[in-house]
Chain A
Amino acid sequence: MRSKLREESLYSLLFLTPAIALVLVFVYFAIAWNVYISFTDWKGLIPSYRFVGLENYRTLFHDPVFWTSFRNNIILIILFVPGSLFIGLLLAVLLDRKIKFENGFRTIYTLPFALSFVVTATLWAWMYDPSDGVLNTLFSMLHLDFLKSNWITDPHVALYAVILALIWQFSGYTMVIYLAGLRSISTEQYEAAIIDGATPLQLYRYVIIPQLKKPTLSAFVVLMVFSLKAFDFIWVLTSGGPGTSTFILAVEMYKETFAKTKFAYGASIATILLLLSFAIVLPYLYWSYRGEKE
């Protein structure tokens, strides 16, 4: 029995080594290294690890582009996260009514989410093209000229155009999450509420919406973290422009690091992103871990 146990722990070590080694190097060691780089003066292609303390952070907090990116990131979060949740819920509620061809509709709405951000950014560049693009042409045809816009070439509109396209891409994902949540409500719960004489509105208010707390929270975390690291789509569609109108932190980090080779400065932006993301994720993990214990 004893040797059996020892054999088991030997095997678990064997099975766990690849994952732990990879995560240790590529996640934890890399995070620590990045934080360290953010305290140095590394500029240019050759690494320099001269320690300068909080210098980069001081510069960062006085950098107007940082605050523009930060503000745009907040706008993105405020509009994109609730927007995707709401439209996903709406689609899920519409589809959860014994629809014919439900699979077909579901596939159509989730199709955008399966695509690479580079693909969707290319498609939306054409949608938003001010001269011959899809949207402006369509609005002309439908005599809705007041809806025409310069879209991603207008600094006042560009960020909102980006957000609209991202909601298009993510609402299929939130729909799928909500649909799974709606389907997990037992028929007894519905029947009990209906026998008690609940109106459809009450049914939603007291039976369905409380049950959707868990899927909402997990989708919320995914969308929040995405808003922080969103890079591919914005970079390919607008490169942060016009001007800095669609700069968010991830875009600024990339530009400082790889276009201007200010590695230490880029590392400090990356560290801020990491802290923001942990501020969202750690309470969630704590909450779901506690939920499991109950």
Chain B
Amino acid sequence: MRAGRLILYVVLIFLAFVYLLPLWSAITTSLKTGKQVTMTTPIQLVLPPYFGAYKTAFSELRKPILNSLLFTTFATIFSVMIGSITGYALSKLLKGSTSKKLLMFITLGIFLPYQSILIPLLRIITKLGLYNTIPGMILTHTAYGVPITTLLFTNYYHEVPDELIEAAKVDGASPLKIYTSVVFPISIPAFVVTAIYQFTNIWNDYLFGVVLTRGEEAMPATVKLANLKGSFVANWNIQMAGALIVAIPTLFIMIVLGKYLIRGYTSGAVKG
């Protein structure tokens, strides 16, 4: 039995090394000079570390990171707010088959291959004068975030007992008042899970960014990172530094708030 446990831990630790290998070699490589990259193996950490690659990568990525932070934050807030009021209406104000059908209607968008709306989306955004702008990115990510945020909130509010709302109704409160004073305060856990889920998804997006932006005015960090591949061919230290800089927000979320993100995944969520 003890030997069995030992083998189990050896296997788990071995797998941990395998899963971390790409990240580990990125960290070591990002801390080397170009010469050290070719002279040493990617597994090896060279001391003292060299931060020049980070300096170069960051100066390239600075503006796109600010863009991403800006539109990701606002699109997260909007899509979560809309998801919350929609979920409340679908689970507490409407009942029966109308609510089920509307939920289906809205959440079908979760499974949409975005290629199938990409050309019209580009036309709509251009027509609205929002091509290559932050508001254009906010609108797009809000619209395609709503299906999943609605699903997460509807599932959450189904668990909230109706009596809680009935009680407030007897006191003569309007649905809006019930939402702000009863429903909203007890939804904080759902807000945390959904917001973290949305932030990660929007930050990580590439497809919308590459189609809807051109210059650095609104270009997301992911698009700029992909472009670095072309402008710094074989400068692996700069590419790895760039990749790690873009990964910081989601790595932080996974390491510190991982349990909320995982709850988002397990409540029927999708990526990509």
Contact = CB atoms under 8 A, between A and B. Distances in A.
B85 A27 contact: no
Contact of B120 (A12, A18, A37, A222): A37
A189 interface: no
Given A11-B175, A22-B143, A273 B115 contact: yes
A75 interface: no
Given A23-B105, A134-B22, A116 B115 contact: no
Interface stretch (A57-65, A144-152, A261-269): A261-269
A273 B116 contact: yes
Interface in A1-49: 4, 7-9, 11-12, 15-16, 18-20, 22-23, 25-27, 29-31, 33-34, 37, 47
Contacts of B272: 117, 226, 229-230, 232
Contacts of B226: 118, 121-122, 235-236
A111 B254 contact: yes
A258 B243 contact: no
A8 B169 CA distance: 11
A180 to B, nearest CB: 5
Contacts of A113: 265, 271
Interface stretch (A78-86, A101-109, A154-162): A101-109
Interface stretch (A125-133, A190-198, A201-209): A125-133
Contacts of B222: 116, 118-119, 232
B266 A109 contact: no
Contacts of B76: none
A137 B29 CA distance: 13
Contacts of B203: 116
Name the prevailing secondary structure of the B interface residues. Answer: helix
B112 interface: yes
Contacts of A185: none
Contact of B255 (A23, A107, A112, A126): A107
Contacts of B89: 11-12, 15-16
A281 B110 CA distance: 10
Residue among A18, A31, A267, A278 having the largest count of chain B Cβ atoms under 10 Å: A18
A125 B115 contact: no
A9 B99 CA distance: 12
B42 A132 contact: yes
B46 to A, nearest CB: 14
Interface of B: 8-9, 11-12, 15-16, 19-23, 25-26, 29, 37-38, 41-43, 82-83, 85-86, 88-90, 93-94, 100, 102, 104-106, 108-109, 111-121, 123-124, 140, 142-144, 146-147, 150, 169, 174-176, 179, 200, 203-207, 211, 222-223, 225-226, 229, 236, 239-240, 242-243, 246-247, 250-251, 253-255, 258, 261-262, 265-266, 268, 270-272
Given A30-B117, A118-B226, 9 more contacts: A12-B93, A19-B83, A23-B105, A91-B15, A113-B271, A177-B265, A225-B113, A229-B113, A232-B206
15 contacts: A23-B143, A25-B143, A26-B143, A91-B15, A106-B262, A110-B258, A119-B225, A127-B21, A134-B22, A134-B42, A141-B41, A177-B266, A222-B270, A236-B226, A250-B115
